[in-house]
């Protein structure tokens, strides 16, 4: 039985991204009825911020940590451990300002933890997480997969790089783009992405 973690980074009611995630998870459940799906809605969860207190605690060895620091770090490691223990991860996040909603960036700071999920070596960065499939479901108003705005996509390459940094190289995407740029075709664009989720759910 595999554990699937679905990380949702969108506060918007009626969001396309969330509809695609629902479609994906429903299809996934029908193909993999024994698997367990855990949802983490980043806009309904308090995500710890990496502040000065955390940075100071990270300079200490375990024995030097105060009780307050231990508790602060355990709040972060709850998310790190949940991410590490998942067998498969699905991110559902739209494009905001050429990147992702800030809650996702804050979450990534909780799972990309030096010494826990990656380490620095003389040869560069080494991922410490056992490889697993990662899927990004991503909706954006414009078109970035080709054409003049291609270099402006700071979302997909970023998440792919973060995953690779952690040791996760099986990175897949469902990208639904141009939904606002071509309003007359938005229905067709969305339907095509939904059909893709159903197909991918079988082999993910
Ligand atoms: C705060 C904000 C910033 C956005 N920035 C971009 C952007 O930089 N590029 C883009 O193509 N679309 C942008 N959009 C449009 C969204 O990507 C688009 O509305 C998409 O459908 C959002 O997904 P959702 O339906 O899941 O909320 C932005 C939307 C919002 C609310």
CA 42 – CA 139 distance, rounded (Å): 17
Residue 138, classed as helix, strand or coil, is strand
CA of residue 127 to ligand 1 center, whole Å = 31
Nearest residue to 130 via CA among 75, 79, 89: 89
Residue 47 banded pLDDT, cuts 50, 70, 90 = very high
> What DSSP character marks residue 131?
P
CA 57 – CA 62 distance, rounded (Å): 9
* 139-155 per-position pLDDT tens digit: 999 999 999 999 999 99
CA of residue 135 to ligand 1 center, whole Å = 19
* 139-195 per-position pLDDT tens digit: 999 999 999 999 999 999 999 999 999 999 999 999 999 999 999 999 999 999 999
The residues pairing with 171 across neighbouring beta strands, listed in sequence order, are: 134
Q: Is the CB of 117 under 6 A from ligand 1?
A: no
- Beta pairing, strands 124-127 & 118-121: antiparallel
Nearest residue to 167 via CA among 116, 203, 122: 116
* pLDDT for the residue 41: 98
* pLDDT for the residue 136: 98
Percent of the chain at pLDDT > 90 equals 100
Atom number, ligand 1, closest to the C-alpha of residue 143: 11
The residues pairing with 24 across neighbouring beta strands, listed in sequence order, are: none
Residue 10 banded pLDDT, cuts 50, 70, 90 = very high
Helices (H) and strands (E) in the chain, counts: 6, 7
Nearest residue to 143 via CA among 199, 105, 186, 194: 186
Percent of the chain at pLDDT > 70 equals 100
- Compute the mean pLDDT over every residue in the chain, rounded to the nearest whole number: 97
CA of residue 100 to ligand 1 center, whole Å = 9
Helix (H), strand (E) at residue 140: strand 133-140
Residue nearest to atom 15 of ligand 1 (CA): 141
């Amino acid at each position: 039985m595999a554990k699937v973690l679905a990380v949702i980074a969108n506060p918007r009611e009626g969001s396309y991204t969330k509809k695609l995630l629902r479609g994906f998870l429903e299809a996934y459940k029908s193909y993999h009825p024994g698997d367990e799906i855990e949802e983490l809605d980043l806009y309904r969860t308090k995500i710890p911020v990496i502040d000065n207190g955390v940075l100071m605690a990270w300079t200490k060895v375990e024995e030097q940590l105060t009780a307050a620091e231990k508790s602060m770090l355990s709040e972060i490691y709850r998310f790190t451990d949940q991410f590490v223990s998942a067998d498969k991860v699905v991110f559902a996040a739209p494009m905001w300002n050429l990147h992702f909603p800030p809650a996702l960036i804050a979450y990534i700071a909780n799972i990309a933890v030096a010494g826990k999920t990656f380490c620095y070596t003389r040869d560069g960065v080494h991922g410490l997480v056992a490889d697993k499939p990662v899927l990004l479901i991503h909706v954006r108003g414009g078109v970035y997969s080709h054409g003049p705005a291609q270099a402006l996509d700071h979302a997909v390459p970023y998440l792919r790089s973060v995953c690779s940094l952690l040791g996760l190289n099986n990175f897949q995407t469902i990208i639904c783009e141009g939904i606002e740029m071509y309003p007359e075709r938005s229905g067709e664009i969305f339907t095509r992405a939904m059909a893709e989720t159903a197909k991918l759910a079988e082999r993910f």
